Amino acid sequence: MRKMFSAAVVGTFIVIGLSGAAAASTFVWTDKVDGFAFSFPDSWTIQTEDVPTTKIRIAGPVGEDFATCRVKAEKDGRLKIYPKPLMAEAVLETLDRNFWEHEVGQYENAIVADYYAPAGLGGLGDATAAKASFVQESGAGKMDMYGSMIGSIYGDTRYVVSCSSRLEEYKKYAPVFGSIMGSVELAPKYHPFAVGNYRNFLVDPKVIFPRTKPGTVHPKSDFAFPSWFN
């Protein structure tokens, strides 16, 4: 059964469980090449990329919690043949549960715990989402992890936004993760009006043009003119 999952753009982050209920200032990352913006608390730090398609990866202020978020973007033109009204269904069929099973396959002992569809990313992109558990090496042994992720194909680009932390700390970070993932904004790639911005010309009356020029089908001599014509 499909579940609804939505990500609302948040202007300020309310950090709950990390520093009481205090508003934190934000840092805005803009990627003009891949057409997205991404915001996060300025107490978080930018980390090195983990995979080639990672555009930004950030880590929380408490190192032992292993809280991280990242945005991946890569060209995916499979759905460019679909008009915008059909993109929602096309994305649901492309980024299905099997997609997420493959996506989390990069982690050890990964399991898709929940799947959500339809969803939305950046207020523009049709999307699906998932939650997953996996195992990660901490440097001092393996630890259980849990995370949320949302994916969208918008225009010719596939975006995957994900956040995770140690399993026992996930509930503490869930509100922050939701705000960070919800902060993603996509650059518009579709015209908001299917027929243009000025008027719907498709409802105009049809104009019928003659197929031939007057006098070219029948010479004037073929017509009999009344005697009074001259």
Which residue segment(s) compose the domain that 115 sits in?
13-186
Q: Assess if residue 211 is contained within a domain.
A: no
pLDDT in tens, 213-227: 655 555 555 555 555
pLDDT in tens, 56-113: 999 999 999 999 999 999 999 999 988 888 999 999 999 999 999 999 999 999 999 9
Query: Is 64 strand, coil or helix?
Result: helix
Q: Assess if residue 178 is contained within a domain.
A: yes
Q: Assess if residue 49 is contained within a domain.
A: yes
Averaged pLDDT, 117-135: 95
Residues 6+ apart with CB under 8 A from 170: 146, 147, 164
CATH number for position 31 = 3.40.1000.10
Q: Assess if residue 227 is contained within a domain.
A: no
Q: For the whole prediction, is pTM greater than 0.85?
A: no
Q: Assess if residue 209 is contained within a domain.
A: no
Q: Assess if residue 6 is contained within a domain.
A: no
Q: Assess if residue 53 is contained within a domain.
A: yes
Token digits of residue 111: 């399991």
Q: Assess if residue 226 is contained within a domain.
A: no
Q: Quote the pLDDT of residue 16.
A: 33
Number of domain units in the chain: 1
Buried-exposed string 9-20: b where 16+ CB fall within 10 A, e elsewhere? eeeebebeebee
Task: Count Cβ atoms within 10 A of the Cβ of residue 84 and give its class: 0-12 exposed, 13-18 middle, 19 or more buried.
Answer: middle
